[in-house]
Structure formats: structure tokens, C-alpha cells
Chains A and B, each alone.
Chain A
């Protein structure tokens, strides 16, 4: 594993944030399936349904995590290999959790 450069760290932070946004989406999809209260909470705009909340909060997680990581790592650099692995794992989990046979296991659809 090798340390990234300053410019690479900026890129890696945005990629990890992308993974966090994807995983948040996956978790919210499953949470809405599993819990009626969560589903109602996410349904803040009825014509769109719970998808409104799932996607809005995933976008918020993406943007906020990007901002926080940028602040935390403004004077530091990331391990390139670990950051890339983290990104792929987070995105992979997000994709798996957004697959209907997977998220439907969390509740009666």
C-alpha cells in the first residue's frame, strides 16, 4: 500500500463520499422495506412516495460526507489502496442492497 499525493487525496475523498452515498441509499431502501415508520418518514412528498426520502437523504449523505472528509483530510493524505478498496466495497454494498430480491427479504413488499 502506498500513500497518495495531495491531489490524489482530493480525488479519493470524493470517491469514498460516492461510496457513502451509495451505501446510504442501499440502507434506506432496506430500512423502508423493514420498517413502516421509516417508510412513512421517507415519504415526505406523496406523489413520489418513499423514493423521495431515500434519494434525498442519500444525496445529503454524499455531499455531507464529502465535505466532512475534505475538512478532516485537508492537511493529511490517504493510503491509496485502502481508500480505493473502501470505495469499491461501499459502492458494491449499495448496489447489492438496491437489488429487489435482496431488499425484499427485509419485509413484506
Chain B
């Protein structure tokens, strides 16, 4: 049972940070949606805003860790240039581009994934800060809650693109 350093980082990026990000995004939707005065007591509001702040901060941290590890660690191995006569299986980008049947995985999938993912930490950080700055008032502030829920939904979709393409690309041309 062995795992290489590169594989370990790929797992940390996708399943560790990325997986936790999805859990946090789902929690954020549930937490903000149900943060209503009619559903809880004043003491409950106080307790839940603390929990919401912690959860949303974790969501923002996970989103940054996912994109930073993806771009500055895993992506470097993905786009490494092969030397003369090298085995293309070791060089995912060039392996995908070498065949017409796989090149769209890079030209569409990877190109979309590597860019759109960076919108997620912007949204996650701003949503976390918004809830922190409004605090307990958020419970009665339906207009802000509605906007934040839509933004989290958008960031969920922006995170789903790299999540899905990352899984497929790593299946076809794994970073080893």
C-alpha cells in the first residue's frame, strides 16, 4: 500500500481541502437559510451566530487552501513539460493533448477548472465577512440572507466545475 508525494498532494487538494469545502458550502446554505428568529430563541440566535461565523470562516479557509494547493502545487506537476523520449503518462497535460480523443479534457475541462475555481474563495471570504459584520442582525435581515444564499449557490456551482473535471482528468491522466 503505497502513495507517492504527488498523489498525496493531489488527494489533499481534491478530497481533503476540496471535499471539506463542499461540506462547508452545504453547511453554509443550511445555516444561513435556517437563521431566523421564528425558529429559535434569543439565546439560540447568539449560539448560532458564533457557530455560523466559525463554519463560514472554515469555508473561506478551505476555499483558499483548495485553490492555492491546486494552482501552486498540483498544477505544476500537471503542466510539467516532458523531456525527449519521456513517458507521457507521467506528464498529464501533454498526455491529454497527444490524442484527439483526450485533448478536450485539457482544452475545455482543465482550462475551465483552473480559472473558474478562483472565484470561489472571493465569494466565500466575502460571504463569511458579511455574516461577521452584520452579526445577530442577520436573523431578521431577509434581503441580505437571500443575496448571500444566492452567492453561496453560485460559488457551489463554480466549485463543482473543478471538482467534477478534476476527478475525471485525474482518472484519465493521473498526476503520479
Q: At the interface, yes or no: B53 with Cβ under 8 Å from chain A? A: no
Q: What are the residues of chain B within 8 A of A15 when measuring CB–CB?
A: 126-127, 130, 147, 151
Q: What are the residues of chain A within 8 A of B75 when measuring CB–CB?
A: 48, 51
Q: At the interface, yes or no: B34 with Cβ under 8 Å from chain A? A: no
Whether A95 pairs with B147 at a CB distance below 8 angstroms is no
The prevalent SS among residues of A at the interface is: helix
Interface residues of A in 47-72 (CB under 8 A from B): 47-49, 51-52, 54-55, 58-59, 62
The prevalent SS among residues of B at the interface is: helix
Q: At the interface, yes or no: B137 with Cβ under 8 Å from chain A? A: yes
Rounded to whole Å, the gap between the CB of B9 and the closest CB of chain A is: 14
Count the A residues whose beta carbon is within 8 Å of the partner chain — how many?
Answer: 37
A14, A29, A103, A109: the one within 8 Å of B130 (CB): A14
Q: Which of B17-25, B38-46, B111-119, B168-176 contacts A (4 or more CB under 8 A)?
A: B111-119
Q: What are the residues of chain A within 8 A of B116 when measuring CB–CB?
A: 95, 98-99
> Contact string, B115-131, partner A, CB cutoff 8 A, digits 1/0?
11011001101110111
Whether A25 pairs with B115 at a CB distance below 8 angstroms is yes
Report if A22-B122 is in contact (Cβ < 8 Å); known contacts: A10-B133, A11-B134: yes
Counting chain B residues whose Cβ lies within 8 A of the other chain, the interface size class is: 35 or more
Whether A98 pairs with B115 at a CB distance below 8 angstroms is yes
Q: At the interface, yes or no: A42 with Cβ under 8 Å from chain B? A: no
Chain B residues close to A by CB (< 8 Å): 67, 71-72, 75-76, 79-80, 107-108, 111-112, 114-116, 118-119, 122-123, 125-127, 129-131, 133-135, 137, 141, 143-144, 147, 150-151, 154, 158
Instruction: List 14 other contacts, CB 8 Å, given A10-B133, A15-B126.
Output: A7-B133, A12-B130, A14-B133, A15-B127, A21-B122, A22-B122, A25-B115, A48-B75, A51-B71, A55-B71, A58-B118, A91-B119, A91-B151, A109-B107
